[in-house]
Amino acid sequence: MRIFLAGGTGFVGGHVRRALLAKGHAIRLLVHKSGSGGEPGVEEVVGDATAPQSFGGALAGCDAVVNLIGIIRQFPRRGVTFQRLHIEATRNIVSAARQAGVKRYLQMSALGASADSSSGYFRSKSAAEEEVRRSGLDYTIFRPSVIFGPKDDFINQLVGYLRSFPAMPVIGDGAYRMQPICADDVARCFAQALEKPETIGKSYDLCGPDRMSYNELLDVIGRAVGKQKVHKLNSPLALMRLVVPVMERFSFFPITSDQLTMLLQGSVCDGDWRKTFTFQPTGFEQGIRAYLKT
């Protein structure tokens, strides 16, 4: 297949790109500016998903579209918002696919996406899903939990804190649960979905095999980097709900009110996706040990 890939230059995008190439697909990759090029099987297309006239013609001759575009934090002054990059970009890509006659469409969403969520991130992801569902395309939607891998932001940021400070700050009691999934496993689901017609019209919650509290996650990361014990410093939740809205305006502050909401909500699923994608997912500790240096 020739696949139009949007959002394929980031952390997860690199894994999906490699998984598609390994299956023998050719990729037409949407980029903001041309890179060095030269990756076999990849053709770069310069454009912007929020400006449909800049990329629409590039879908001609493609057999499928994969949309991975997403942000975890907004910077409105730069035009980086959930509305533009989740909802409007999806609407534009869906429209371009329909105009080009491309029927197969894969969408990256997020575990927890809901129109009723108190998180703007989750509401925008849900709205993007609705754009896809009513498109008339042969869609598949994936909603992953926290994704880990060599270049992830979340786990590597925690590792940096563990190595720099004598105690790890924990918001509230740290009992909120997570079920991280390996980036390679997410990529395998995207690549396999193109070979599985039974995935058309379906949405899949993706999570790894290990369900743990945030406290337990910190302990696992600590073991992986050679720490015998991870000391934790609990910050009262009521205090953080006062501090975060004030500090989130500064880009250096590591968490926003929206991210706090998502963290406390947790990110786990029942693992039903493994009935369709029948490979064994990578365990969390095994996975992070493969790329974290002790």
Give the pLDDT confidence of 163-200 residue by residue, as tens digits: 999 999 999 999 999 999 999 999 999 999 999 999 99
**pLDDT confidence tier of residue 213, bands split at 50, 70 and 90:** very high
Whole-number Cα distances in Å, 152 to 61, 67, 146, 245, 286: 33, 19, 10, 25, 16
HSE-CB for 101 with a 13 A CA cutoff: 2
Q: How many domains does the chain have?
A: 1
In a domain, 168, yes or no: no
In a domain, 45, yes or no: yes
Residue 153, pLDDT > 80, answer yes
In a domain, 116, yes or no: yes
- Can you give the residue range of the structural domain that contains 24? 2-149+181-206+268-281
Whole-number Cα distances in Å, 273 to 115, 178, 197, 198, 276: 22, 17, 15, 12, 6
Least confident among 60-64, 130-134, 210-214, 252-256: 252-256
pLDDT of res. 37: 64
Residue 232, pLDDT > 90, answer yes
Which two three-digit tokens encode residue 159? 């590792």
List, for residues 257-286, the tens digit of each pLDDT value: 999 999 999 999 999 999 999 899 999 999
pTM: 0.94
In a domain, 19, yes or no: yes
Contact residues for 58 (Cβ-Cβ < 8 A; gap 6+): 4, 28, 30, 45, 47
In a domain, 241, yes or no: no
In a domain, 195, yes or no: yes
In a domain, 158, yes or no: no
Amino acid at the residue 90: T
Question: By CB neighbour count within 10 A (0-12 exposed, 13-18 middle, 19+ buried), where does 2 fall?
Answer: middle
pLDDT of res. 114: 96
Residue 47, pLDDT > 80, answer yes
Q: What is the CATH number of the domain that holds 84?
A: 3.40.50.720
In a domain, 252, yes or no: no
